[in-house]
Amino acid sequence: MASDPKVLVFEEVAQHNKTKDCWLIVSGKVYDVTPFMDDHPGGDEVLLSATGKDATNDFEDVGHSDSAREMMEKYYIGEIDASTVPLRRTYIPPPQAPYNPDKTPEFLIKILQFLVPLMILGLALAVRYYTKEK
């Protein structure tokens, strides 16, 4: 039974975001670091700011030592259900809207590129015809 990891959902883990109740998600695992807040060499603020999200990148960016990684085991409380973690960063869709208004002038310019020479030609012919008659 002891080897059965508890699977937690993101919604629940994210609620533990206070100094006196702080859970972190790192590499698919959930840690209750509440007893570690005062002792963390990086301070409690960074731990708090790493709550409510997948803190794997934050944790790895610091380049934590092996002893820090061993320490984590003490605070391990379960696995995170990855399907409940909201995606970050990956989805910032490029704004499509500005492209559409751009297409109208482009289209107009293309039509004008045809029409303007035709109009000049027509005008020239008209002038010539008119002056010939005179």
Judged by CB under 6 A, the stretch of 13-21, 37-45, 90-98, 104-112 that binds ligand HEM is 37-45
Does position 33 bind ligand HEM by CB under 6 A?
yes
Q: 45-64: which residues touch ligand HEM (CB under 6 A)?
A: 46-47, 50, 55, 58-59, 62, 64
Exactly one of 68, 77, 81, 84 binds ligand HEM (CB under 6 A); that residue is 68
Q: Given CA atoms 72, 78, 79, 83 in this order, what sign does their dihedral have? A: negative
Does position 41 bind ligand HEM by CB under 6 A?
yes
User: What distance in Å separates the CA atoms of residue 123 and residue 134, rounded to the nearest whole number?
Assistant: 17
Judged by CB under 6 A, the stretch of 12-20, 36-44, 94-102, 111-119 that binds ligand HEM is 36-44
Does position 14 bind ligand HEM by CB under 6 A?
no
Residues that bind ligand HEM in the complex, under the rule CB under 6 A: 24, 31, 33, 40-42, 46-47, 50, 55, 58-59, 62, 64-65, 67-68, 71-72, 75
